[in-house]
Amino acid sequence: MFTSVDDVSARLAETGYLASPAVATTVFLADRLGKPLLVEGPAGVGKTELAKAVAAVADARLVRLQCYEGVDESRALYEWNHAKQLLRISAGRDESWDEARTDIFSEEFLLTRPLLTAIRGDEPTVLLIDETDKADVEMEGLLLEVLSDFQVTVPELGTITATRRPFVVLTSNAGRELSEALRRRCLFLHIGFPDEELERRIVRLKVPGLSEALTASVVRVIGALRAMDLRKVPSVAETVDWARTLLALGADTLDEQVVRDSLGVILKHQDDILKAAAKLDLDAL
Amino acid sequence: MTTPPTPATPSTADTAGAADTADLADSADLADTAGAADTAGVAERLTSLVAALRAHGLRIGTGETVDAARAVEALGLADRELLREGLAATLLHDLGRRRVFDQVFDLYFPRRVGGPEDASSDRDDLRDRLAEALAAGDRALLAMLAAEAVDALGRYGTGAQGGDGGGPGGDGWSSYQTLDRLRPQTLLARVRTSVRERDGATGFADRLLDDEIRRRIEAFRTLVAAEARRRVAERRGAEEIARRAVAPSADRVDFLYAGRDRLAELRRTVQPLARKLATRLAARRRRAARGSIDLRRTLRGSLSTGGVPMKPVLRRRRPARPELVLLCDVSGSVAGFSDFTMLLVQALHDQFSKVRVFAFVNRLDEITPLLVHGTADPEGLGARIRSEATLTAWHGSSDYGVALGEFAERHADSVGPRATVFVLGDARTNMADPNLPAVRRIAARARRVYWLNPEPRAQWGTGDSAAPAYAGLVEMHECRTAHQLSALVARLLPV
């Protein structure tokens, strides 16, 4: 899919995703080694966006499995369409039991869910398993077979193997420790906060109307906030939100008044706002 | 901020992703160190890197090593930073070990071999150039200066006078000595002025400048430390240095020997750790709730199916939220351990119906309210406890006998039959009476009593330690690191 690491960054940048060297390298390796990619990191640094960008670059279909507590086989893998099977049985006439049985357990009555869909397709596919840590431990066991051999076993049909391996991205917020077995099957990528230079480029890309000097100031303030010991440090998403807010407010430089009024956009806890205000020498809030 | 052109010295290319001539020169160096670019050399280097990582407790299987080798093949040796990311992606499984990995990687895939070529610089010249690099915030330049500084100022032993090349008698390179002579922290004012002259005072963001420069200086210090480790490793072999000089990840640091900054780093992990433990406790509760059938509700449900019980209804257990009592020794020797554990328990407080925390040195006092506010400002917690609670009588050393006796006498009502008591401390009584009857009284009232001891098991009972005596009465566990603590908490906390 990609020829080199630079190729990855360049092509991701075309779709509007600016990748750090770590991200580009790992995506390149995931493609080369044919292994799933496990992406961890704080909320709002672009984990899900990465999968979407890769799909756009590779001109592939994006199949998404959103995990939640209680997601199970019938939601993730496949399910038999019971209602249709019943209809088929009652509509059936003079035929033997064997014929009816082989008929109702055929492809026609199979409802494919994301994992099976991604494996069965012939076209290039990016499989995004989002927020894996939200799913139960049992779900991980199910993923193991899919991720190591790219095959799914349906008892009535046999084993279905991928004709074309999908590019798999798993994301996790580290809400729960994923099992060692699952981690071993994946390449691990931690997306942290970008460095100043990269973040400036991201802001300029997403909010082109903001002046260069103001962008630099915004990124510096965000950097200072991240160094503080806050309950929820601002993420890239918040940086972009703040930049948009400043643009909407028509501010052309940062001053105390503007920062004080818009601090709520970047910090989500009252404790954090008070603490940041004290450290940034803003007067009484 | 503009990045000046990459310096011409072949060995300084550190700018990730830039494939310029400097990088190619770098690759030649790297290939040299890896044994003239032959694959056997790289494979050997890779396996010894893996061995060193395993020695630090990373679980890396053969499969991962093979993947790492395939990654090296796919990426080539041309760019060191890409190689670092590639190996990290294949060998690591979580972020916690990245710090260890980076240090070991620097030893086995060094930026270059030997000292820098133009090592003639003296201290003042270095300081001038360092100030410029700090003002520009140029990481590549800082890395080069770190190499030069270690070479010029960090040498100790018999070869200490040598400049270029150096005699084989030199015993090593010390980052401490380098930083002590160079004093990068004193450059702050100078760098500030030069940045202000260049950019002008840029309004609001200007007030952040000091902190930014401090962070850059801190980054320079780590660069110097890495460089000194690399130079020593060249002399004594990477294996030994990787084993001895690489700092372990924060959760494996001994509480008793952790410095201020490591403890601060640990405190930042309290919230994520608490979240993980909470989900583990919830899972245990769910499992514990399965099993017995609620007969009344099953029969009631069977009426709709003509009296045939089609769906068994399981009895839902009332979530009995247990009570927790913490007795913490906060005397100097174990304060780091106690503080961390208190914060962790406070972060878990919604898992329990009641959490009460008592602190003692040789008097005992309740500090639960202090702790509730303490989560907002964990650094100041220890100081606040010591200033606001009455913990010491006429002397300042810990006395378990008196403190436990006081608890059994005055606060016995806080321990009910549903309460689990955790005692945190090293059980060193300073030769005073351990007061075993008090412990017996507490153990008789509580549901369970656990004692978490931050000392290694081998030291229990040595000197003035009354650990074996207490361990005979209550269950005592060794709890030296945050890693051990989280495992113990997950296992011992009542559900």
Per-residue pLDDT at B330: 83
Q: What is the number of H-type helices and E-type strands within chain A?
A: 14, 9
**Among candidates A32, A184, A217 on the partner chain, residue whose Cβ is nearest the Cβ of B93:** A184
DSSP state of B41: H
Residue A132 and residue A239 in one domain? no
Residue A136 and residue A239 in one domain? no
- Chains A, B: CB contacts within 8 A come to 110
**Among candidates B67, B71, B211 on the partner chain, residue whose Cβ is nearest the Cβ of A227:** B211
Q: What is the number of H-type helices and E-type strands within chain B?
A: 21, 8
User: Strand, coil or helix: what is B367?
Assistant: coil
Determine whether the interchain pair A21/B85 forms a contact, defined as Cβ–Cβ distance below 8 Å.
yes
Residue A144 and residue A237 in one domain? no
Residue A233 lies in a domain: yes
Q: Which residues of chain B neighbour A36 with C-beta distances below 8 Å?
A: none
pLDDT-derived band at B35, boundaries 50, 70, 90: very low
Instruction: Return mean pLDDT, chain B.
Output: 77
Residue A96 lies in a domain: yes
Residue A282 lies in a domain: no
A256 and chain B: CB distance < 8 Å anywhere? yes
Per-residue pLDDT at B377: 63
Which of the residue ranges A159-163, A201-205, B204-208, B354-358 would you say has the lowest mean pLDDT?
B204-208
Residue A54 and residue A35 in one domain? yes
Residue B35: Cβ within 10 Å count: 14
B198 and chain A: CB distance < 8 Å anywhere? no
pLDDT-derived band at B307, boundaries 50, 70, 90: confident
DSSP state of A155: T
For residues B393 and B329, the model is more confident at B329
Helix (H) or strand (E) holding A37: strand A37-40
Q: Which residues of chain B neighbour A39 with C-beta distances below 8 Å?
A: none
Q: Is the pLDDT of residue B421 over 80?
A: yes
The CATH number of the domain holding residue A120 is: 3.40.50.300
Q: Is the pLDDT of residue B290 over 70?
A: no
Could you tell me which chain B residue has the CA closest to the CA of A3?
B74
A282 and chain B: CB distance < 8 Å anywhere? no
Per-residue pLDDT at A55: 94
Alpha-carbon distance A26 to A8, whole Å?
10
Residue A143 and residue A168 in one domain? yes
Determine whether the interchain pair A223/B208 forms a contact, defined as Cβ–Cβ distance below 8 Å.
yes
Domain boundary among A164, A190, A216: A190
Q: Which residues of chain B neighbour A280 with C-beta distances below 8 Å?
A: 207-208
Could you tell me which chain B residue has the CA closest to the CA of A179?
B93
Determine whether the interchain pair B93/A180 forms a contact, defined as Cβ–Cβ distance below 8 Å.
yes
Residue A105 and residue A217 in one domain? no
Which of the residue ranges A226-230, A258-262, B18-22, B269-273 would you say has the lowest mean pLDDT?
B18-22
Residue A43 and residue A125 in one domain? yes
Per-residue pLDDT at B289: 59
**Among candidates A184, A220, A221 on the partner chain, residue whose Cβ is nearest the Cβ of B61:** A184
Determine whether the interchain pair A29/B271 forms a contact, defined as Cβ–Cβ distance below 8 Å.
no
Burial, B488: exposed, middle or buried (Cβ in 10 Å; 0-12, 13-18, 19+)?
Answer: middle
In Å, the largest CA–CA distance within chain B is: 99
Could you tell me which chain B residue has the CA closest to the CA of A189?
B89
pLDDT, tens digit, 9 for 90 and up, residues B51-66:
989 888 888 989 999 9
Domain boundary among A112, A133, A168: A112
Domain that holds residue A242: 196-277
Alpha-carbon distance B329 to B392, whole Å?
11
Per-residue pLDDT at B319: 59
Per-residue pLDDT at B5: 43
Helix (H) or strand (E) holding B327: strand B323-329
**Among candidates A21, A35, A174 on the partner chain, residue whose Cβ is nearest the Cβ of B16:** A21
Determine whether the interchain pair A176/B279 forms a contact, defined as Cβ–Cβ distance below 8 Å.
yes
Residue A45 and residue A122 in one domain? yes
DSSP-assigned states of every residue in A70-139: T--HHHHTEEE-HHHHHHHHHH--S--HHHHHHHHTSGGGEEE-HHHHHHH-SS-EEEEEETGGGS-HHH
Q: Which residues of chain A neighbour B378 with C-beta distances below 8 Å?
A: 229
Determine whether the interchain pair A190/B95 forms a contact, defined as Cβ–Cβ distance below 8 Å.
yes
pLDDT, tens digit, 9 for 90 and up, residues B117-155:
665 567 788 888 888 888 887 888 888 888 888 888 877
**Which residue type occupies B222?**
T
Strand segments (E) across B75-177: 155-157, 170-173
Residue A49 lies in a domain: yes
Residue A284 lies in a domain: no
Cβ–Cβ under 8 Å, residues A157 and A119 = no
Determine whether the interchain pair B89/A223 forms a contact, defined as Cβ–Cβ distance below 8 Å.
no
**Range with top average pLDDT, A32-41, B29-38, B304-313, B366-375:** A32-41
Q: Which residues of chain A neighbour B75 with C-beta distances below 8 Å?
A: 5, 25, 28-29
Determine whether the interchain pair B205/A254 forms a contact, defined as Cβ–Cβ distance below 8 Å.
yes
Interface of A with B in 73-112 (CB under 8 A): none
Interface of B with A in 147-166 (CB under 8 A): none
**What domains are there in chain B, each with its CATH number?**
10-108 (no CATH), 123-247 (no CATH), 271-290+320-492 (3.40.50.410)
The tens place of each residue's pLDDT in chain A, 285 residues long, gives 888 999 999 999 999 999 999 999 999 999 999 899 999 988 889 899 999 999 999 999 999 999 988 888 888 989 998 888 888 888 876 778 788 777 888 888 999 999 999 988 888 999 999 999 888 878 888 888 888 888 888 888 888 888 888 999 999 987 677 888 888 889 999 998 998 889 999 999 999 988 888 898 889 889 888 888 787 889 999 999 999 999 998 887 888 888 888 888 899 888 888 888 888 877 544
Taking the model in full, what pTM does it have? 0.72
Interface of B with A in 389-448 (CB under 8 A): none
User: Strand, coil or helix: what is A158?
Assistant: strand
Domain boundary among A190, A217, A240: A190
Could you tell me which chain A residue has the CA closest to the CA of B268?
A229
For residues A267 and B314, the model is more confident at A267
Residue A283 lies in a domain: no
Count of domains forming chain A = 3
Residue A180 and residue A202 in one domain? no
Per-residue pLDDT at A25: 94
Q: Which residues of chain B neighbour A32 with C-beta distances below 8 Å?
A: 70-71, 74
Per-residue pLDDT at B120: 58
Determine whether the interchain pair A188/B272 forms a contact, defined as Cβ–Cβ distance below 8 Å.
no
Residue A268 lies in a domain: yes
Instruction: State both tokens at B263.
Output: 């403890």
Interface test with A, best of B65, B80, B85, B290 (most A CBs within 10 A): B85
B279 and chain A: CB distance < 8 Å anywhere? yes
Nearest by Cα to B318 from B409, B418, B385 = B418
A141 and chain B: CB distance < 8 Å anywhere? no
Alpha-carbon distance B442 to B423, whole Å?
11
Interface of B with A in 13-32 (CB under 8 A): 16-17, 19
Task: Please compute the mean of the pLDDT values over residues B231-237 and round it to a whole number.
Answer: 77
Interface of B with A in 41-60 (CB under 8 A): 59
Residue A145 and residue A119 in one domain? yes
Interface of A with B in 39-68 (CB under 8 A): 40
Burial profile B359-375: b = 16 or more Cβ within 10 angstroms, e = fewer: bbbbebbbbbebbeebb
For residues B283 and A134, the model is more confident at A134
3-state DSSP: chain A helix, strand, coil percent, rounded to 5? Answer: 50, 15, 35
Q: Is the pLDDT of residue B4 over 60?
A: no
Residue A60 lies in a domain: yes
Residue A51 and residue A154 in one domain? yes
Residue A58 and residue A134 in one domain? yes
Instruction: State both tokens at B3.
Output: 């990045």
